[in-house]
A and B are shown apart, each in its own frame.
Chain A
């Protein structure tokens, strides 16, 4: 099989603390510009949930030298692709540009890093709040199973854990958010020393670095943000079960556990376990639950790469004719089997090969490559760790995967959420 690709990398740090990763690749005349701010919904407080994400919307509403909605226009009118996203630990902003427009992207990103406040006003905030409320209806409230995700986090991370509340925020909190909240969020978190800027693609590193220095070099440091450290929620003393009625046709079962933070050795063992259990039609969960016994319409196992702790999630949708309790027992049997013996050589090889191919797939696109480099730098201050991460997976022994199933996924430590059709709910 293939060794992990060696990405040529340079890293730099400006005097104001902005960390820079340069990954030249001249194959196509494109450059991905990717900026991570180390702030996410976990930096909010109860009563003002959703602020980090609403704030992200405000960053597309213009800044000192960029008019309202002009950000997208500047990028799209030259053929660029831009967006941003917010999650528990971080917020990212990115654009992939035809490479001769690199400076345009740097100008846009530096303008909103340095000069957002003069462009903020109440009317813009009110409009984006309405947009976000519609985003929430579209992706959560009006979607079958849409509220399950936030309920799993609420149950798995009891307050005051900052993963408790949804990234999109509670509607009442969004309504209560003021312009002052937005301004102070900006002053506290949006500064060069709380950010990582990655360029991947078609550029000459010395020239690109000079441009970065030119656009970002005079932006002032922020007040400093304390680096997070792993913070597992308290170990649950018993299984927490809940049933939720929703506008769905098929019952769905979610089993969630809180696991060690992304980056720890046990995290990689658990991530391989997700692949051993449920990747592809030849995996045991698919074979047993979907194919042989036909209890499930679909089944999936996921592990989230988050900083304070992670969530391991098993999800299965029941066939209309299946008895959900029987599906649940079948899921339990599969996890018990994984806890009772290490994966076979064949199972382990399949999971490892899947990870290898996944790496190659992801690194093909400049935007994903830049995003992963920003991630490794933001969380571990080590962009070269991206290249090395494949080996962290390949180093995991079969017994460690068994241990993950046996020690970390006990039924008494899980959240068991069921979403059932309305007529079946109480």
Chain B
């Protein structure tokens, strides 16, 4: 090949950037198609794939603690039978063409999703419309899924990370909304009879306020016409009513879940944050990035790269219609649990005490701005963005506003935001590990209670119905 003379190369400094090319967010189209259902489309010609997500607002925020798990169990029954099709008939319809069907629920909504090759968009739509309007909740399927759910709870109860996430949710939110597992408990599942499930579905799988997000390779006008036709028979049956508001306890609680012989400690601490629609959500995302939202965050550099007591430390904010949690976490060496909790609380305090360095601010800001298009590569990634708009009632230009907001954020604004939102003195903490070794390490930070492991876990994101297919340790590569 022809060589360019390398003589001029100076390796001692990073090369200058070229000229930035702008990116375009996919063009969106909105249309009311039937009975109050809004169709939100991002047509991407040539992709060969279509992703559909039918989003029914409401979700688990409408369930009470004694009926915990009702939203996810209802969701998982939506594809287990209709008046004219059995569970296995339904499964075969999209799987035969290489497609996939999924139903799920989180605190904010129930979701029916289908991913199919481009020439089968109409079929996918037919399936979603049939499930939404005509699920029959057969007794045998209810009994089967309740047994499966109870086994799932048992399986997950052995996972320290799930124990930690669940106990922290209870420590932050008590027994109100957000305080229990979306999967329910062994006891609550037995309370979920057909009558409750059907009533929940009539109220919360309804067209009023629902959004169908469609992303991929389809022709919008034809597709909208199909939607109007196929969703016409989906009718409002019963008014959903208002959900109870979450009531964070605001207590400093430190709980140890005793796990004798544990090789490591799953440590979490956190507090209630702000609703997804809150005006400060964007600056909170910048703060989170600095605190624990990326590899070069304060928490990870401290606990992994300076102290080497963990494989990774992070912080995470969760956008919900109410005040979702702000969580800091790491799996740490048992002997370092006290040090790690101390570092977490110190980092929370530091954000309230002094403005972040200009350099840190620039790093976080440019990270969030630069990384934004990354999720727009795939149909699924774009769907997730549009789901956020749909679930939280955000306008089409929300992400443009978000990027402008991030670009303009100042260290002073972040300091104000941290002082208003972070409350280290109310931070609850959970450590899953050997209590005898952990207790003396954690006592300096507050009253410690040792509690027994619950046989009720929860996913870290708190958003899934139980996985249909196995996820094993993939025997794969290690990063």
Contact = CB atoms under 8 A, between A and B. Distances in A.
A356 B96 CA distance: 12
A220 B318 CA distance: 49
A272 to B, nearest CB: 13
A129 to B, nearest CB: 8
Contacts of A12: 1
Contacts of B469: 278, 280, 286, 298-300
Given A15-B3, A247-B158, A127 B308 contact: yes
Interface stretch (A84-92, A224-232, A401-409): A84-92
A69 interface: yes
Contact of B263 (A110, A137, A321, A352): A137
A354 interface: yes
Interface stretch (B97-105, B126-134, B391-399, B422-430): B97-105
Interface stretch (A100-108, A175-183, A381-389): A100-108
Contacts of A304: 475
B374 A30 contact: yes
A72 B331 contact: no
Contacts of A299: 469-470
A250 B377 contact: no
B262 A148 contact: no
B374 to A, nearest CB: 6
A77 B117 contact: no
Nearest to A88: B477
Interface string A129-162: 0111011011111111110110011000000000
A315 interface: yes
A28 B376 contact: yes
A397 interface: no
Nearest to A301: B470
Contacts, number: 290
A142 B154 contact: no
B369 A79 contact: yes
Given A30-B377, A217-B6, A300-B470, A101 B18 contact: yes
Contact of B95 (A85, A101, A217, A281): A281
A215 B11 CA distance: 8
A376 interface: no
B88 A291 contact: yes
User: Which of A78, A141, A354 neighbours the largest number of chain B CB atoms within 10 Å of its CB?
Assistant: A78
Contact of A96 (B6, B374, B379): B374
A120 interface: no
Contact of B20 (A74, A98, A209, A300): A98
A128 B144 CA distance: 47
Interface in A167-211: 167-168, 202, 209-210
A100 B376 contact: no
A78 B95 CA distance: 41
A298 B470 contact: yes
* Residue picked from A167, A250, A281, A313, most chain B C-beta under 10 Å: A281
Given A149-B475, A249-B155, A142 B263 contact: yes
A315 B470 contact: yes
Interface in A18-49: 28-30
Contacts of A357: 49, 98-99, 115-117
A334 interface: no
B154 A250 contact: yes
B1 A249 contact: no
B27 interface: no
A349 interface: yes
Nearest to A280: B95
B354 to A, nearest CB: 21
Nearest to B371: A79
B187 interface: no
Interface in B272-286: none
Contacts of A65: 11-13
Given A28-B376, A81-B371, A364-B378, A145 B472 contact: yes
Contacts of A92: 477
Contact of B144 (A69, A294, A354): A294
Contacts of A353: 96-98, 117
Contact of B377 (A82, A86, A137, A364): A364
A264 interface: no
Contact of A13 (B1, B13, B294, B296): B1
A133 to B, nearest CB: 8
Interface stretch (B33-41, B225-233, B360-368): B360-368
A77 B362 contact: yes
Given A127-B305, A134-B264, A353-B98, A107 B14 contact: yes
B22 interface: yes
Contact of A287 (B3, B88, B471): B88
Given A130-B308, A280-B91, A29 B23 contact: yes
Given A13-B1, A101-B17, A149 B88 contact: no
A341 interface: no
Contact of B154 (A15, A214, A249): A249
A291 B98 contact: no
Contacts of A82: 295
Interface string B375-413: 011111000000000000000000000000000000000
Contacts of A13: 1
Contacts of B99: 357
B368 A137 contact: no
Contacts of B4: 210, 213-214, 217
Contact of B478 (A53, A69, A202, A214): A53
A277 interface: no
A320 interface: yes
B157 interface: yes
B158 A144 contact: yes
B310 interface: yes
A235 interface: no
A280 B102 CA distance: 11
Nearest to A297: B151
Given A13-B1, A349-B96, A361-B49, A313 B475 contact: yes
Contact of A138 (B264, B295, B367, B368): B264
Given A100-B20, A138-B331, A142-B160, A300 B472 contact: yes
Contact of B17 (A78, A287, A316): A78
Nearest to B99: A357
B377 A139 contact: no
A109 B451 CA distance: 49
Interface in B115-172: 115-119, 144, 147-148, 151-152, 154-155, 157-160
Contacts of A73: 296, 363
Contact of B470 (A2, A84, A138, A317): A317
Contacts of A281: 87-88, 91, 95, 468
Contacts of A1: 98, 117, 119
Interface of A: 1-2, 5, 12-15, 28-30, 53, 56, 64-65, 68-69, 72-74, 76-87, 92, 96, 98-104, 106-107, 110-111, 115, 126-128, 130-132, 134-135, 137-146, 148-149, 152-153, 167-168, 202, 209-210, 213-215, 217-218, 247-250, 278-283, 286-287, 290-291, 294, 297-300, 302, 304, 311, 313, 315-317, 319-321, 346, 349-350, 352-358, 360-361, 364-366
Interface of B: 1, 3-4, 6, 9, 11-23, 47-49, 87-88, 91-92, 95-100, 115-119, 144, 147-148, 151-152, 154-155, 157-160, 261-264, 294-296, 301, 304-305, 308-311, 331-333, 362-363, 366-374, 376-380, 467-479
Of all A-B residue pairs in the complex, the 8 with the closest CB atoms, nearest first, are A79-B370, A353-B98, A300-B470, A130-B308, A281-B91, A357-B98, A85-B477, A29-B21
Given A126-B308, A134-B331, A282-B88, 9 more contacts: A77-B363, A80-B370, A81-B371, A83-B479, A145-B473, A149-B475, A281-B468, A317-B155, A358-B98
9 contacts: A1-B98, A69-B301, A78-B366, A100-B18, A100-B20, A126-B308, A149-B475, A213-B1, A298-B467
